[in-house]
């Protein structure tokens, strides 16, 4: 009997071990402020992204993948699987003099994956709190961190407002080089040094092509055909990022990890169409192209929240286009499910496990998109109907049918009062569940003092943006 029990326990433990070895590596790549039409697989004609495009051709392209309007809220939603309104990060971003960050009682994606046996590494931009070291990546579940904790840094000096923002494992690093290339170098090194006995979760969060618009001359020279100077530099930034993505894929292949890796790619929000959100006073013409979508970064129209996205997982996710609805909050429960992780320690999730949909076993379970809920504006989508509600004076209610009008050109609120009423009721309910935006505290004082840039709250751009 003892022998039988011992053999049973041994067999059970062997199965667990085998499953651990079979868990997919997860390489999660986020671009910063890239436009809807600024990568090749989305139809860009003047910007070349061959490495990203090659991955996309072998991946599921998520045509309706939604994020938050700005980078701090999107990154928070990814890390928690919860809407940023739940913990006060729904408005703007954490400014350089902001003392707050992502709530410390939230259980984050790297913690979930670490519990599931993953080695966890982050390379790139954090932007979820910097004033207190307890907000930093190493204290939030990452075994390793290299990059910047703020949101915007100079690409050559790695400074923000004259202060160095560049570290490795909580210690400042002074080195030469261009940020995007340094991030690529480090991501490759993480892969090269990885012990393949454990699965790897690598969160690679590029700062490119976020302002300031800077690139090495060799990358700018690739786009001599682009007449607009700012877009030429912007194209060079994207091209450099594309090269680094290619290097990461090559490193995974060389290490024998590629065939058992999930690679996610998307932008953190739409391309910038509002000059007040760039901090670049000298830029006369913004370089991003969100066409044919309306609006851009900071706004609740599709151009600010619907982003280029794909998921690569050979042998599990078929190449092609998936037209269902997907939201950034879905990524935590989905990655937990495919990795054997548990979300038991997380607070109630807003995201859903969409792994069955991604692997072709059914449609997306999602019918609702919550674009954002703030005291002065909100937007939700249910099925094909989308309501954008600006509550500050003068108030404005807009209703769009995204099936017939995906570019939000015609407000049909007057013709559909019942739909408006139902979606407004949904927004009211969500607003009662929302925490007060942390931005409306000490951070707002810092903004008014000029520490963040222009003292402005994003207002929807009512014009359909023109292509640069």
**Where are the domain boundaries for CATH 3.40.720.10 in the chain?**
24-366
Residue with tokens 């907000």: 135
Of the candidates 329, 373, 375, 326, the one whose C-alpha atom is nearest the C-alpha of residue 351 is: 329
Average pLDDT over residues 183-202: 98
CATH of segment(s) 376-435: 3.30.1120.10
Of residues 431 and 1, more confidently modeled: 431
- Helix, coil or strand: residue 31: strand
Lowest mean pLDDT segment, chosen from 56-60, 150-154, 188-192 = 150-154
Which listed residue (127, 130, 210, 266) is catalytic? 127
Does 123 score more than 90 pLDDT? yes
Does 297 score more than 50 pLDDT? yes
Average pLDDT over residues 12-28: 66
Q: Give long-range contacts, CB 8 A cutoff, 24+ apart: 144-148.
A: 144/120, 144/169, 144/190, 145/121, 145/169, 145/170, 146/122, 146/173, 146/183, 146/186, 147/122, 147/123, 147/183, 147/186, 147/205, 148/124, 148/179, 148/207
8 Å CB contact between 89 and 444: no
pLDDT for position 5: 41
pLDDT for position 445: 57
In the beta sheet, which residues pair with residue 372? 379
pLDDT for position 457: 38
Average pLDDT over residues 391-412: 96
In the beta sheet, which residues pair with residue 64? 325
Q: Identify the helix (H) or strand (E) that includes residue 246.
A: helix 229-254
Structure tokens at 94: 């954490």
319 Cβ neighbours under 8 A, 6+ residues apart:
57, 58, 59, 60
Which listed residue (71, 240, 288, 346) is catalytic? 71
Of the candidates 262, 227, 226, 211, the one whose C-alpha atom is nearest the C-alpha of residue 55 is: 262
pLDDT for position 161: 85
Answer yes or no: 266 catalytic: no
DSSP-derived secondary structure letter, 465: P
Q: Which fold has domain 24-366?
A: Alkaline Phosphatase, subunit A (3.40.720)
Structure confidence by residue, pLDDT tens digits, 203-213: 999 999 999 99
Average pLDDT over residues 76-103: 96
CA angle in degrees (0–180, nearest 5) for 181-69-441: 100
Structure confidence by residue, pLDDT tens digits, 138-173: 999 999 999 999 989 999 999 988 899 999 999 999
Structure tokens at 5: 């029990």
Answer yes or no: 240 catalytic: no
The model's confidence at residue 354, banded by pLDDT at 50, 70 and 90, is: very high
pLDDT for position 344: 97
- Helix, coil or strand: residue 376: coil
CA angle in degrees (0–180, nearest 5) for 360-361-364: 80
8 Å CB contact between 22 and 259: no
Does 3 score more than 50 pLDDT? no
pLDDT for position 19: 60
The model's confidence at residue 380, banded by pLDDT at 50, 70 and 90, is: very high
What is the distance between the alpha carbons of residues 430 and 370, in angstroms, rounded to a whole number? Answer: 9
Report the chain's mean pLDDT, rounded to a whole number: 91
8 Å CB contact between 398 and 352: no
What is the distance between the alpha carbons of residues 188 and 203, in angstroms, rounded to a whole number? Answer: 12
pLDDT for position 226: 96
Residue with tokens 């954490």: 94
pLDDT for position 280: 67
Q: Is 451 exposed, middle or buried (0-12, 13-18, 19+ CB in 10 A)?
A: middle
466 Cβ neighbours under 8 A, 6+ residues apart:
291
Average pLDDT over residues 453-467: 37
Structure confidence by residue, pLDDT tens digits, 330-351: 999 999 999 999 999 999 999 9
**Where are the domain boundaries for CATH 3.30.1120.10 in the chain?**
376-435
**Helix-strand-coil percent breakdown of the chain, rounded to 5?**
35, 20, 50
Q: What pTM was computed for the model?
A: 0.91
Structure tokens at 367: 């019918």
What is the distance between the alpha carbons of residues 278 and 273, in angstroms, rounded to a whole number? Answer: 9
Structure confidence by residue, pLDDT tens digits, 173-188: 999 999 999 999 999 9
Structure confidence by residue, pLDDT tens digits, 225-251: 999 999 999 999 999 999 999 999 999
Q: Is 344 exposed, middle or buried (0-12, 13-18, 19+ CB in 10 A)?
A: exposed
- Helix, coil or strand: residue 174: coil
How far is residue 431 from each of residues 90, 103, 373, measured CA to CA in Å? 11, 19, 6
Average pLDDT over residues 46-53: 97
Average pLDDT over residues 357-374: 96
């Amino acid at each position: 009997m003892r022998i039988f029990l011992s053999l049973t326990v041994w067999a059970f433990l062997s199965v667990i071990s085998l499953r651990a070895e079979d868990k997919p590596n997860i390489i999660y790549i986020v671009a910063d402020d890239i436009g809807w039409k600024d990568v090749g697989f989305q139809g860009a004609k003047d910007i070349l992204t061959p490495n990203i495009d090659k991955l996309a051709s072998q991946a599921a392209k998520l045509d309706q993948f939604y994020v938050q309007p700005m980078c701090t809220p999107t990154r928070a939603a990814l890390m928690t699987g919860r809407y940023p309104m739940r913990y006060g990060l729904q408005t703007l971003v954490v400014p350089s003099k902001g003392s707050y960050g992502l709530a410390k009682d939230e259980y984050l994606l790297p913690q979930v994956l670490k519990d599931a046996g993953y080695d966890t590494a982050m390379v790139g931009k954090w932007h979820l709190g910097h004033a207190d070291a307890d907000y930093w990546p190493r204290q939030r579940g990452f075994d390793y961190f290299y990059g910047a904790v703020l949101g915007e840094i100079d690409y050559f000096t790695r400074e923000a407002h004259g202060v160095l923002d560049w570290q490795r494992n909580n210690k400042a690093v002074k080195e030469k080089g261009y940020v995007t290339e340094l991030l690529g170098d480090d991501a490759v090194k993480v892969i090269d040094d990885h012990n393949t006995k454990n699965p790897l979760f690598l969160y690679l969060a590029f700062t490119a092509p976020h302002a300031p618009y800077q690139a090495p001359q060799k990358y700018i020279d690739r786009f001599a055909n682009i007449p607009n100077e700012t877009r030429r530099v912007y194209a060079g930034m994207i091209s450099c990022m594309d090269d680094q993505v290619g290097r990461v894929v090559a490193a995974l292949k060389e290490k024998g990890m590629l065939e058992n890796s999930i690679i996610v790619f998307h932008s953190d929000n739409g391309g910038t169409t509002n000059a007040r959100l760039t901090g670049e006073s000298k830029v006369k013409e913004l370089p991003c192209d969100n066409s044919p979508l309306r609006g851009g970064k900071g706004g609740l129209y599709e151009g600010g929240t619907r982003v280029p996205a794909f998921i690569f997982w050979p042998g599990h996710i078929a190449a092609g286009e998936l037209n269902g609805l997907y939201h950034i909050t879905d990524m935590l429960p989905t990655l937990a499910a495919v990795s054997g992780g548990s979300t038991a320690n997380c607070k109630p999730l807003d995201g859903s496990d969409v792994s069955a949909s991604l692997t072709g076993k059914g449609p997306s379970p999602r019918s609702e998109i919550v674009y954002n809920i703030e005291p002065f504006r909100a937007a939700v989508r249910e099925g094909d109907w989308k309501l954008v509600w600006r509550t500050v004076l003068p108030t404005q209610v807009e209703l769009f049918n995204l099936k017939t009008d995906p570019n939000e050109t015609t407000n049909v609120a007057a013709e559909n009062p019942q739909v408006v009423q139902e979606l407004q009721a949904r927004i009211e309910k969500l607003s009662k569940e929302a925490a007060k935006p942390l931005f409306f505290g000490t951070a707002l004082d810092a903004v008014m003092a000029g520490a963040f840039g222009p003292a402005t709250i994003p207002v929807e751009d009512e014009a359909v943006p023109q292509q640069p």
